[in-house]
Structure 1
Amino acid sequence: MRLVPVALALLAAATAPVGAQDGAGGASAIVLQLAPAPRPLALGGAYAALARDPYALFYNPGRLAGAPRAVAAAYHVYPVGVAAGSIAATLPTGRLALGVGVHYLDLGEVEVLEPDPAYGGQRGQPTGETTEGGEALAVVGAGLELGPAVRVGAAAKALHLGLAGASDQGFAVDLGAAAGLLRGRLQLGVAVQNVGRAAGVGRGSPLPRTVRAALAADLADLGGVRTTVAVEGVHVEERSALAAGLEAVYRNGAGIGLLARAGFDGRVASGDAASPLTVGAGIAFGRFGLDYAYRGAGPLGATHHFGFSVHLDGGAGPVR
C-alpha cells in the first residue's frame, strides 16, 4: 500500500484554519478551508458580516444582495510547491444579485511514500515516485434584499477532488442572512456552509460543515481614515473559535484609497504551523483594486496572497 500524505499534511498544517488533526473534512476538502482571496485572509477570516463583493459568495451568500457589478481574481502561493487561485463575479438585477465563483487548489507533484517496516508501518519511506493532485470548487449563488436592511441568500457548490489518478465529486449548499443596524454602521451576518454528503478520494470524509455568526462595525471616520472592525464566531464540526479583523482605509483628494488590514484567526490550533496572526494591504484607484495578504507558516516559510478586482459600477474601495 502506498501513501501520499506529506504534501497534504504540510499544506493542512500551514494553511487550513481547522487544522489537519481535527479531521474537519480530512485532507479531502482542503479547498473548502482555504481563504479564496487576500482581503478575508488578512482579516482573520472574519468576513461573513463585512463584505458585499464577489467573495461574499464564499462566506455568506446573503451579503451578495446589494453588491455592485464586479469581477475579482486571486492567486495564492503556499509552501511545498502548492498553489491556489480563484475568480468570482457579481451581477445585481434590482433587489436580486447573482454570484458565480471558482476556487482551485493545485497540489503540484506529491511525493509517493510506502510504509517503512523498520517503524512498523507507522512511518513512510520515499519510493522515488511522484504523483499529481488537486481540488476545484465551483459556486453559484444569489442574494435577495427583503427590505432596506435585511438580506438573505443561498449558494450551491460542486466539488471535484483528484489525487494519483483517482477522483471523486461532492455537492453542498450554503445559506446566509445579513442585517444592517444604526444606519448601516453595524452589520450582522449568519451563515451555514458545506451542507452535503461526504466526499474524498478513496474514502469519503464529511465536508467541514461550518456555522458563522458575525458582526462588523464602523468605529471611526476621522481625518479621511475610515476604521472598521469585524468579529466572527465560527463553529466547524465539533470545534468553535473566534476570528477578528481590523481594516483602515484612507482616501486622498484624488480618490486613491490606501488600505491596511490585520487579523486574528482563532481557528488555528496549538501546534499548527500556520500563524493565527494575519496582515495585509491594498490600494484602490478608480474602478480597480489590488490586495495582498501575508501569513506566517513557521518552519515552512509563509503564504503570500495576491488579488485584483474591477468594480464595473464605480470605485473599487471596500463595499459595505
Structure 2
Amino acid sequence: MPVDRAPRTIAARIPGGFRPRAALALAWCALVPLSGAASLSAQERQREHTWSGPPILTLIAGTRAMGLGGAFWTGGNADHAVFHHPALISGQGFDLSLGGIFSRKGDGDRQRDRDAERDRGPDDAIQLALSASGSWLGGNVAVGLAVFDYGGDIDIQRERGRSNGGASRPTAAGAISWGATEFVGTVAYRRTLFGFGAGAAGKVVGWTVGGARARTVAVDVGVSRTFWQLTTALTVQNLGPDLEMGGRDVPLSRRVVLGAGTQRRAPVGPLDIGGAIQIAREYGGDIVPGGGVEVAYWPVVRRVFIARIGVVRVVEGEGAPVTFGAGFEGDRVRLDYGYRDRGPMTGPHQIGISIR
C-alpha cells in the first residue's frame, strides 16, 4: 500500500533523525505478501486490490488438515468446522489448535537470519484457535475464536554523508519494532434440509497494525452431502465489506472451497486408512488443490496411533509441497500434530486437541 497513507502512529515510534518511509514500506511489505491468498501473475500484481487480508482467514483449517495437505477432514466430528465448512458442524465437542514461530532472528543461526531477512517474515508469531459445538433447535451450533499475533524488528540504516566521489555511506541506526494482531470471532449454525447439510457462519474480523485498527463483518455459506462412504462439502468463505486500513480498502480473502473425504477410515489388513482432498479458489484466481491420507493402527481397542502425509500445490512464497502429521485417539480425546513448511508467515509446527 502507499507509504504516505500508512498509520502515523507507527512512524512516531521510529528513532529521531531517520526518515520513516523506507521502514514503513518494509513493515507493510512484511504483511501484504504474507496473506494466505495465492500469488498473482505479473500483470495482476500491477492492478489495485490484488492482495487481500488478513492472513488469518486462510490459516485456520485445523491441525488435522495441516497434515493432510491443507485438506479439511470432511468425515464425522470435523474439528474447527465453524471456521472452514459450517455445513459440517456436528456433535458436541471442543477443539483447540496452537502454532507459531519464536525468535527466528538473532538466535545465532546465520542462515536462518538470512532467510528471515529475505522472506521479510515476522520474527515471532503465535496462532491460536478455539471452537466448541453442540446441538440446538434441531441442528448444530458452534462458536469459535481465532487469534494471530506476530511481529519483529526491522534493521534501519541511514546515510552518514556523501564521500568525495558523491556516494553515500550507510551506517547502522538501530531497529524499529513492528507488530500486528488479527482475530476472527465466529458463530455458525447447521441443519439438514432436503437431504443436504446446510450451514452458515457469521464472523467479526479484526486487524490491528501498529496504531491502525480495522474491523468488519463477513459470512460463510455452504452445503454438504454424503454419498455412500464419501462426504463432500462446498463453501464460499469471507463474504463481506472490505477492511479500511490506513485510508486504504483491503479486500477480505474471499475463497471458494470444495472438499471431499472418507466418512470414516476403512480397514485394510491390520490398518485403518482414510483420506481427504480439497480444491480451493483463492482470492486472485489461483486454484490450489491439496489432499492427504491418514493411516491408523490400534494395538489396543480405543488406543489408536495415526500417521498422516499430504501434498498441496505451492504458490509463491508458501514453502514445501509435502506435509506430515501424527495423532493419537483415546476414548473421547484426540491429540494431533501437523507439520508444513508454509514459508515466512507461520511456523512449520502445530498441535491440536479435540474432545468429543
TM-score, structure 1 as length reference:
0.81
Instruction: Give 1:183-222 correspondences, 5 Å limit.
Output: 185-202=229-246, 203-217=248-262, 220-222=266-268
Q: 1:83 aligns with which of 126, 132, 147?
A: 126
CA separation of 1:90/1:9 partners in 2, compared to 1, >3 Å: closer, same or farther? farther
Tell me what 1:314 maps to. none
Q: Which secondary structure state, in structure 2, belongs to the residue aligned with residue 35 of structure 1?
A: coil
Q: Which secondary structure state, in structure 1, belongs to the residue aligned with residue 91 of structure 2?
A: coil
How many equivalent residue pairs?
Answer: 298
Which string of whole-angstrom CA distances, capped at 9 and with x for unpartnered residues, describes residues 153-185 of structure 1? 000110111011110002111001110111xx1
Tell me what 2:16 maps to. none
Q: Which runs of 5+ in 1 are unaligned?
A: 119-124, 312-320
The higher radius of gyration belongs to: 2
Tell me what 2:175 maps to. 128
Q: 1:172 aligns with which of 215, 218, 221?
A: 218
Is the 1:214–1:233 contact (alpha carbons within 8 Å) kept by the matching residues of 2?
yes
**Counterpart amino acid of 1:129?**
I
Q: 2:193 aligns with which of 146, 150, 153?
A: 146
Q: 1:46 aligns with which of 71, 83, 104?
A: 71
Q: Which secondary structure state, in structure 2, belongs to the residue aligned with residue 252 of structure 1?
A: strand
User: How far does residue 308 in structure 1 lie from its aligned partner after superposition?
Assistant: 1.3
User: How far does residue 139 in structure 1 lie from its aligned partner after superposition?
Assistant: 0.8
Q: Are 2:305 and 1:258 equivalent residues in the alignment?
A: yes
CA separation of 1:299/1:274 partners in 2, compared to 1, >3 Å: closer, same or farther? same
Tell me what 1:317 maps to. none
Which string of whole-angstrom CA distances, capped at 9 and with x for unpartnered residues, describes residues 279-315 of structure 1? 100101122221111112569995110111211xxxx
User: How far does residue 100 in structure 1 lie from its aligned partner after superposition?
Assistant: 0.5
Q: Are 2:105 and 1:74 equivalent residues in the alignment?
A: no
Q: In 1, distance between residues paired with 2:37 and 2:342?
A: 12
Q: In 1, distance between residues paired with 2:312 and 2:190?
A: 27
Q: In 2, distance between residues paired with 1:299 and 1:98?
A: 35
Is the 1:172–1:194 contact (alpha carbons within 8 Å) kept by the matching residues of 2?
yes
Tell me what 1:157 maps to. 203
Is the 1:135–1:161 contact (alpha carbons within 8 Å) kept by the matching residues of 2?
yes
Identity %: 23
Which string of whole-angstrom CA distances, capped at 9 and with x for unpartnered residues, describes residues 200-221 of structure 1? 5212211111111222136741
Q: Are 2:148 and 1:105 equivalent residues in the alignment?
A: yes
Tell me what 2:14 maps to. none
Tell me what 1:37 maps to. 62
Q: In 1, distance between residues paired with 2:347 and 2:178?
A: 24
Q: In 2, distance between residues paired with 1:215 and 1:299?
A: 29
**Counterpart amino acid of 2:253?**
P
User: How far does residue 191 in structure 1 lie from its aligned partner after superposition?
Assistant: 0.6
Q: Are 2:294 and 1:247 equivalent residues in the alignment?
A: yes
User: How far does residue 150 in structure 1 lie from its aligned partner after superposition?
Assistant: 2.2
User: How far does residue 6 in structure 1 lie from its aligned partner after superposition?
Assistant: 5.1
Q: In 2, distance between residues paired with 1:104 and 1:301?
A: 13
Q: In 2, distance between residues paired with 1:196 and 1:15?
A: 17
Which string of whole-angstrom CA distances, capped at 9 and with x for unpartnered residues, describes residues 52-76 of structure 1? 3341111110001xx2211111111
Q: 2:324 aligns with which of 268, 271, 279?
A: 279
For the aligned residue pairs, the C-alpha RMSD in angstroms reads 3.2
User: How far does residue 20 in structure 1 lie from its aligned partner after superposition?
Assistant: 8.5
Is the 2:153–2:175 contact (alpha carbons within 8 Å) kept by the matching residues of 1?
no
Is the 2:156–2:174 contact (alpha carbons within 8 Å) kept by the matching residues of 1?
yes
Is the 2:202–2:220 contact (alpha carbons within 8 Å) kept by the matching residues of 1?
yes
Q: In 2, distance between residues paired with 1:231 and 1:47?
A: 8
Q: Are 2:353 and 1:308 equivalent residues in the alignment?
A: yes
Q: Are 2:263 and 1:226 equivalent residues in the alignment?
A: no
Which string of whole-angstrom CA distances, capped at 9 and with x for unpartnered residues, describes residues 47-97 of structure 1? 173453341111110001xx2211111111135211111100111236400
Is the 2:213–2:245 contact (alpha carbons within 8 Å) kept by the matching residues of 1?
yes
User: How far does residue 108 in structure 1 lie from its aligned partner after superposition?
Assistant: 3.3
TM-score, structure 2 as length reference:
0.74
Q: In 1, distance between residues paired with 2:85 and 2:50?
A: 20
Q: In 2, distance between residues paired with 1:131 and 1:299?
A: 15
Is the 1:20–1:27 contact (alpha carbons within 8 Å) kept by the matching residues of 2?
no
Q: In 2, distance between residues paired with 1:297 and 1:206?
A: 22
**Counterpart amino acid of 1:107?**
Y
Q: Which secondary structure state, in structure 1, belongs to the residue aligned with residue 185 of structure 2?
A: strand
User: How far does residue 106 in structure 1 lie from its aligned partner after superposition?
Assistant: 0.6
**Counterpart amino acid of 1:258?**
F
